[in-house]
Structure 1
Amino acid sequence: MDGKKLEYKGDEALKEIERLTQQPGLVQESLLKDILIKNHGTEYLEQYMGGSMDVSDFKKVVPVITYKGIYPYIRRIANGEGSNLITGQKITEMICSSGTSAGEPKLMPSIAEDLDRRTFLYNLIMPIINQYLPGLDQGKAMYLCFVKAETTTPCGLPVRAVLTSYYKSPHFRLRPHDPFNDHTSPDRVILCNDGYQSMYCQLLSGLIQRQHVLRLGAVFASAFLRGVSFLESNWTTLCHDIESGSLNEGITDADCRESMAEILPGPNPALAREIREICGAGSWRGILCKLWPRAKYIEAVVTGSMAQYIPSLEYYNGGKLKLVCPMYASSESYFGVNLNPFCDPEDVVFTLLPNMCYFEFIKLGENGTLMLDSDEDKEVPVQKLVDLVHVKLGCFYELVVTTYAGLYRYRVGDVLQVAGFHNKSPQFRFICRRNVVLSIDNDKTNEDDLHRSVTAAKKLLESLDTMLVEYTSYADTSSVPGHYVLYWEMKRGGPPDKTDPARRDSPLSYDDVLRECCIAIEEHLDYTYRRCRAFDRSIGPLEIRVVKAGMFEKLMDFAITRGGSSINQYKTPRCLKSTEAVKLLDSNVEASFFSPRDPTWIP
């Protein structure tokens, strides 16, 4: 990897970040030259560059593509043709994307060096955090990690989720030698393909070692909250195991049983009693700090669509634990790190590391909406691309990457905004996925617009002492005009708190509040949507369908069973593409509410 070693630790890791960000242009130029030297003989590049290894030729003639442009080559390799169709190095596996953002899983080529790059980025996280919170090597992390059962291509290449690839690699197995990465969960429990058994044993391990846990987390906020929900449903059984010193008979995986025997050596009725008193006390507000009293923060992705979970995380930690979002990555490549890990979630920015891949950007409109349409195959002129060191503060861009593994000028689909610089390297705020939209007529509602609208509306639920747990949407065109449908799962915390002025003597009933939520969402959607609703009449009133408790967990299970996602990678799709998923939620709707009036529209 650029001739540099991987095992950067402590101050050495921080110095490497400084080195890379002082001259990002030179690092990027060197990396692209290296990619072209190693891959110039591939069939893909030959058709455009004719064997040239010149960077300027690459920038002039190699087109910008989506997955549709590279898929024929990936399919040929999956069926047995050589890696040299797209890369000069051997493809060792196909990385299966989660499919929860774009609607279906994609296969991404991966070479051995990719694991080195991922490990390099992981090795930077704890030195960054340790600058702000020293002493984390004196305890453990209860970090929920999961794998997805792998498959193979027709020619026998492994097909794995990106995190499964890492967890099964030697790099992850070396982790116990790093005192900053001492996890409560045994490796064999993490590597269990059965999500239920893995979750059960990981939570049991975390509870048994509760006084040693200094940090909590999972890759995505949704996965961590899945763990909290699981604990809420199974704490009595977990306490029984701790009290009796024996693992529940429902855990049948041999590796889980053998590794848990070391964690659960004998009966511990005192510990079981402590946990029962905490979990059985009533409200679960602040439960995380009570169960793990030494925990300092929760580590999870809380940007983009994951921002929806921030209120739930704050509810369960009582507002006492910082939310740390440490890195920015995808199945295509790992990108960068958050150099200010204890900032507020809305202030998270990522410094892209110029040795990860070659970065280019498509300039978007002032509000980030230009080209945020359903036609993702629209040709982008190569002269319109901007390289890493020429992006401008405040501007919106779509991310484009070139990798050693055979992706060339590939549109990742993420919309970013330049928020600042570290040394000479730009820092980006993640805005949304480009291709996640709702559309009925001329309206184009992206993920960020939807999230902001729902965030504004859900404040009305406070009068009912009710919290929005999860949501998704789809454009219902089964009737004319079509309309937006939002599925909401809510958690009621009890009767309204009359001591809170915002909740005292609310004149609105439950039904009234939900209808007001509908119109509040519409009022916060953009001008085009409101015009189509109130003037053109081409969109019908927005609808909220309230689903039964636990339905979004069933939606997750459905997606994991059908696609390439694991619990680690799963992100609730903000716009449903699957008719089966729509049917699943529709079959469990408890109540339905429509906007009571047109949204405000001023020509």
Structure 2
Amino acid sequence: MARSSTLPSPMACDQEDAKALHSGTSGGEPKLFPSIKEEQQRRMFLCTLVMPVMNLYVKGLAKGKGLYFMFSKSETETPGGLVARSALTSLYKSDHFKNRPYNPYYISTSPNEAIYCTDTLQSIYTQMLCGLYEREQVNRVGMVFASGLLRVIRFLQLNWQQLTHDIRTGSLNPKLTDTSIRQYMTQILAQRDASSECFFGINLNPMCKPSEVSYTIMPNMAYFEFLPHEPNSMRLTHSKLVDLVDVKVGEEYELVITTYTGLYRYQVGDILRVTRFHNSAPQFQFIRRKNMVLGIDTDKTDETELQAAVENASQLLREFNTSVVEYTSYADTTTIPGHYVIYWELLGKNSANSPSDKVLEQCCLTMEESLNSVYRRCRVADKSIGPLEIRIVKNETFEQLMDYAISRGTSMNQYKVPRCVSSKPIVDLLDSRVLSKHFSPSLPHWTSELRL
């Protein structure tokens, strides 16, 4: 399970120990973590294990090539003179990657020149162009996170005409200004007959439903301990830590790691649930990020509950052939009382049959009905929370949100949409693209009766 945007990212540099940059995509600035060169071998081991597992379920993966989108970020330097890179940048610039042996599972159409280009748009364009040029050999497409792949698909929708023009004419988009890319692509297009942390688990059943995904912990990646999840506890109590062999099926734990690179009992922030055992190895399902919580008063709404509420409310949009493309949330305390603000980017197939204001107001109420009893008590009895608000934003708003994160040092490889935001620049960006605002028209159901 390579959740490299939420785990510390110690990846080795080419010739020396260095610092690795945490991507900071879960709501914070990038952090520095120690790195040693030897860590690469463990990571490469896990990477090479993934495709053979996939081949058990999807035959023929060793044939053809893969259109794998890979991106590097600019390097920085610590005050002491050490190089600081993101985890995947360190991997791509390492000797392990540059001198990797032949592996039929990992033949990629993406050239190193594009991977090493730190201009994200030029890198995407070049990798997409190479993949399309060798389209008859491509039999698989991939990226670290699905959210990034969705953006790449959107990029193709917006730029397919220029891409096909380049292939048809053998010319190159003048917006590609990177010298190494232009030199490489000029040769390719002229040839008409050319063909943050630690990783910690693998999905041994890759064809299962997304809701059923479980990961088997790889004990050689780090030393893993598990803190029984107590929602109201923010303090790590070592006496409560559970070893890998002692976890129990059905229980939830916060992951705690001690790495070869020097992190000691680092609280990752991922909440995992033990689902089953593979032989003697426990398998875990990712439940949510710890502390990704909306709250106004005594209420606490975590990522899982918010996701369920959005899914329930979005059912009302189906008859209009409309869906929620992306969403995030914000606890607005500038009003009295404060209230939840949910930002929705919608995709509709028929603009003439878009959902009305009344329908969107009902979506607000449906979300409130889906939230926990503490929230509903605060709304109904305490009146300490105001009506939930949905703000509809313009198309491509969440792409701009990604662009902002990338400009702040996040790698596109590791970006995920934050489900709860508080940063003023991010809130300002979202508010600048609001098309309409809608509030819950009535109070959600709540009763103070106790049932035995």
The bucket for the TM-score relative to the shorter chain is over 0.9
Task: Give the SS at the match of 2:274.
Answer: strand
- 1:533 Cα deviation (Å)? 1.1
State the partner residue of 2:253.
397
State the partner residue of 2:292.
436
Match status 1:337 vs 2:202:
yes
Please, what TM-score do these two structures have when normalized by structure 1?
A: 0.70
For the 8 Å contact 2:75–2:84, the answer to whether it is kept is: yes
Letter in structure 2 aligned against 1:421: F
Match status 1:361 vs 2:239:
no
Query: Which deviates the most, 384-393 or 130-139?
Result: 130-139
Alignment of 1:64-143 (within 5 A): 92-143=17-68
Task: Give the SS at the match of 2:412.
Answer: coil
Match status 1:595 vs 2:451:
no
State the partner residue of 1:550.
396
Separation (CA, whole Å) in 2 of partners of 1:556 and 1:204: 22
Alignment of 1:351-500 (within 5 A): 351-364=216-229, 369-371=231-233, 378-494=234-350
Match status 1:566 vs 2:420:
no
- 1:262 Cα deviation (Å)? 3.8
State the partner residue of 2:213.
348
State the partner residue of 2:4.
none
Separation (CA, whole Å) in 1 of partners of 2:342 and 2:86: 29
- 1:188 Cα deviation (Å)? 1.1
Match of 1:523 among 356, 365, 369: 369
Letter in structure 2 aligned against 1:445: T
- 1:175 Cα deviation (Å)? 4.2
For the 8 Å contact 2:394–2:435, the answer to whether it is kept is: yes
Separation (CA, whole Å) in 1 of partners of 2:315 and 2:308: 12
State the partner residue of 2:139.
214
Please, what TM-score do these two structures have when normalized by structure 2?
A: 0.92
Query: Which deviates the most, 254-263 or 580-589?
Result: 254-263
State the partner residue of 1:296.
none
For the 8 Å contact 2:245–2:281, the answer to whether it is kept is: yes
Q: What percentage of aligned pairs have identical amino acids?
A: 52
Letter in structure 2 aligned against 1:341: P
For the 8 Å contact 2:369–2:445, the answer to whether it is kept is: yes
Alignment of 1:9-88 (within 5 A): none
Letter in structure 1 aligned against 2:399: E
- 1:379 Cα deviation (Å)? 2.8
Task: Give the SS at the match of 1:124.
Answer: helix
State the partner residue of 2:380.
534
Alignment of 1:278-293 (within 5 A): none
Alignment of 1:187-198 (within 5 A): 187-198=112-123
For the 8 Å contact 1:470–1:552, the answer to whether it is kept is: yes
Letter in structure 1 aligned against 2:49: L
CA 1:586–1:130 in 2, change beyond 3 Å: closer, same or farther? same
Deviations 1:135-172 (A, max 9, x none): 21211111111111111101121111111111111222
State the partner residue of 2:70.
145
CA 1:379–1:370 in 2, change beyond 3 Å: closer, same or farther? closer
Letter in structure 2 aligned against 1:600: H
For the 8 Å contact 1:243–1:267, the answer to whether it is kept is: no
Match status 1:576 vs 2:421:
yes
Letter in structure 2 aligned against 1:554: Q
CA 1:245–1:105 in 2, change beyond 3 Å: closer, same or farther? same
Letter in structure 1 aligned against 2:221: M
State the partner residue of 2:178.
253
For the 8 Å contact 1:102–1:435, the answer to whether it is kept is: no
Task: Give the SS at the match of 2:365.
Answer: helix
Q: Which runs of 5+ in 1 are unaligned?
A: 1-66, 75-89, 269-330, 372-377, 497-505
Letter in structure 1 aligned against 2:372: D
Letter in structure 1 aligned against 2:429: L
CA 1:441–1:134 in 2, change beyond 3 Å: closer, same or farther? same
CA 1:602–1:174 in 2, change beyond 3 Å: closer, same or farther? farther
Task: Give the SS at the match of 2:56.
Answer: helix
Q: Which runs of 5+ in 2 are unaligned?
A: 1-6
Task: Give the SS at the match of 2:126.
Answer: helix
Task: Give the SS at the match of 1:148.
Answer: coil
Separation (CA, whole Å) in 2 of partners of 1:141 and 1:602: 56
For the 8 Å contact 1:457–1:518, the answer to whether it is kept is: yes
Alignment of 1:228-307 (within 5 A): 228-265=153-190
Match of 1:179 among 82, 104, 118: 104
State the partner residue of 1:160.
85
Letter in structure 1 aligned against 2:382: D
Separation (CA, whole Å) in 2 of partners of 1:455 and 1:516: 14
Letter in structure 2 aligned against 1:124: L
Deviations 1:305-350 (A, max 9, x none): xxxxxxxxxxxxxxxxxxxxxxxxxx12110101111111111000
Separation (CA, whole Å) in 2 of partners of 1:381 and 1:193: 42
- 1:263 Cα deviation (Å)? 3.2
State the partner residue of 1:14.
none
- 1:381 Cα deviation (Å)? 2.3
Deviations 1:392-440 (A, max 9, x none): 0000000011112111111110000000011111000001110211111
- 1:104 Cα deviation (Å)? 2.4
CA 1:403–1:478 in 2, change beyond 3 Å: closer, same or farther? same
Separation (CA, whole Å) in 2 of partners of 1:94 and 1:522: 44
For the 8 Å contact 1:91–1:110, the answer to whether it is kept is: no
Aligned positions, number? 435
For the 8 Å contact 1:471–1:489, the answer to whether it is kept is: yes
State the partner residue of 1:83.
none
Separation (CA, whole Å) in 2 of partners of 1:355 and 1:233: 43
Q: CA RMSD in A?
A: 2.0
Task: Give the SS at the match of 1:137.
Answer: coil
For the 8 Å contact 2:27–2:421, the answer to whether it is kept is: no
Separation (CA, whole Å) in 1 of partners of 2:75 and 2:381: 51
